């Protein structure tokens, strides 16, 4: 029997009792409001006029030449704010507003989701507080400034290792205190039901556009789609409309970190096993006793020890192939993409590009391959310059 909120055995709602009511209300509100013509019209207008959708599908000639494939980039970096994150935050902010909430809280790692939440909060008129690991605040200082400029309160998280997983924990704690007035605007396809479903639904706009665009350009579906991820929101957004098209190969690229060794990686599909964190059963980096392990990668946005329940399921049943890219390959992919395409990808996005560039055995010559170009790399400029040029 297919249970609501389950993807195979993954998913569920493993939260403190105090949060169950808020999750039930959210589920009910989403099912009632999201399909309504009014909601669709309002969201559609915001996605078009504010976010800048549809985003283009760009035929990347430089990368095509290098790989021998027909490489297309789905340009989510052109969404206002510089990443796919706004697709989700606009939808959830509208939902929260309709539910009568007065405040949005969320967590962020690379800062892209926090920024997109601050933007969406301002658009619909809701107060915003963003929890951010203290280490990520240092690494992503420019996004912190942008969030503050937009009026969001950025609260440093010092518990644990001061990274994304700790920020999610603190946001859940804050939500337990304030769920009657506050919506937790979950940033990825993780967390307790209904968050994974809501986020994947809102991000699916990527795949729907992509499908139309590739049919128009190539007259057929792509041979492969490549997307980076940890929780899985940009990947599921791109993949979902293609899940039934078994001939379209789907690659999910996680953060390999420095090496595939216990404490130097974020590759949960390689190094983890199913476990429960932040409300859901999912593929999880953990030690032999079930203590969650901190992940490690240079891309803050991939630095999460869990893979969302839906992507965990799709990889388990073989519909999606989980792969990884190492930090050094990622920086090289950034350099190549800058030189060949004149585009600066986010470090997260560069994982997908790195996989394409380094695994010719996966792609036949002439194949049509779409990379979900999930975000731009301005936020990573200093890290990239220091790595590539030592300055």
Active site residues: 85, 107, 374
Return the number of the residue (64 or 283) whose C-beta is nearest other proteins. 283
Q: Which of 20, 45, 262, 381 binds other proteins (CB under 8 A)?
A: 20
Does residue 159 bind other proteins (CB under 8 A)? yes
Spell out, one character per residue from 180 to 219, where the chain touches other proteins: x when CB under 8 A holds, - when not.
x---------------------------------------
Greatest Cα pair distance in the chain? 57
Does residue 172 bind other proteins (CB under 8 A)? yes
What's the distance, CA 128 to chain centroid? Answer: 20
Does residue 124 bind other proteins (CB under 8 A)? no
Return the number of the residue (36 or 158) whose C-beta is nearest other proteins. 158
Spell out, one character per residue from 21 to 60, where the chain touches other proteins: x when CB under 8 A holds, - when not.
xx-x------------------------------------
Alpha helix (H) ranges present in 204-308?
205-218, 233-239, 268-271
List, as one string, the DSSP characters of 5-21: TEETTEE-----HHHHH
Which of these, 317, 47, 18, 19, lies nearest to 194 by C-alpha position?
A: 19
Total chain residues near other proteins (CB under 8 A): 38
- Residue corresponding to tokens 């859940």: 172
CA distance 354 to 332: 8
Q: Which of 32, 41, 48, 173 binds other proteins (CB under 8 A)?
A: 173
CA distance 136 to 144: 9
Q: Which of 2, 37, 244, 291 binds other proteins (CB under 8 A)?
A: 291
Does residue 18 bind other proteins (CB under 8 A)? yes
Residues contacting residue 47 through CB under 8 Å, at least 6 positions apart: 53, 87, 90, 205
Does residue 67 bind other proteins (CB under 8 A)? no
- Residue corresponding to tokens 């999606």: 320
Residues found near other proteins in the complex (CB under 8 A): 12-22, 24, 159-160, 165-166, 169, 172-173, 176-180, 275-279, 281, 284, 286, 288-293
């Amino acid at each position: 029997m297919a249970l609501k909120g389950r993807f195979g055995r993954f998913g569920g709602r493993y939260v403190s009792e105090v949060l169950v009511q808020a999750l039930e209300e959210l589920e009910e509100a989403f099912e009632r409001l999201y399909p309504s013509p009014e909601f669709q019209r309002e969201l559609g207008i915001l996605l078009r006029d504010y976010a800048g959708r549809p985003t283009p599908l760009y035929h990347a000639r430089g990368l095509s030449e290098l790989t021998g494939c027909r490489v297309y980039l789905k340009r989510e970096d052109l969404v206002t704010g510089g990443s796919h994150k706004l697709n989700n935050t606009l939808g959830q902010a509208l939902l929260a507003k309709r539910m009568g909430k007065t405040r949005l809280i969320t967590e962020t790692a690379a800062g892209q989701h926090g920024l997109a939440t601050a933007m969406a909060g301002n658009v619909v008129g809701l107060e915003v507080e963003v929890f951010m690991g203290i280490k990520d605040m240092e690494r992503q200082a420019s996004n912190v400034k942008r969030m503050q400029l937009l009026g969001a309160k950025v609260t440093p998280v010092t518990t644990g290792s001061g990274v994304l997983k700790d920020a999610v924990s603190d946001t859940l704690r804050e939500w337990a205190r304030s769920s009657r007035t506050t919506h937790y605007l979950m940033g990825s396809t993780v967390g307790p039901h209904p968050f994974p479903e809501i986020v994947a639904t809102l991000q699916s706009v990527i795949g729907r556009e992509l499908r139309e665009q590739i049919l128009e350009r190539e007259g057929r579906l792509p041979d492969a789609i490549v997307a980076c991820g940890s929780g899985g929101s940009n990947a599921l957004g791109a993949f979902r409309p293609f899940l039934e098209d078994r001939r379209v190969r789907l690659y999910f690229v996680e953060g390999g970190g420095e090496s595939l060794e216990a404490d130097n990686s974020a590759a949960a599909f390689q190094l983890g096993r199913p476990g429960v964190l932040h409300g859901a059963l999912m593929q999880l980096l953990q030690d032999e006793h079930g203590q969650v392990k901190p992940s490690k990668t240079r891309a803050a946005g991939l630095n999460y020890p869990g893979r969302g329940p839906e992507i965990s399921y799709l990889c388990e049943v073989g519909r999606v192939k989980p792969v990884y890219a190492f930090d050094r390959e990622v920086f090289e992919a950034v350099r190549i993409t800058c030189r060949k395409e004149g585009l600066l990808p986010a470090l997260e996005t560069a994982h997908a590009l790195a996989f394409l560039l380094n695994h010719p055995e996966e792609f036949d010559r002439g194949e049509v391959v779409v990379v979900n170009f999930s975000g731009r790399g301005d936020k990573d400029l200093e890290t990239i310059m220091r790595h590539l040029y030592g300055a």
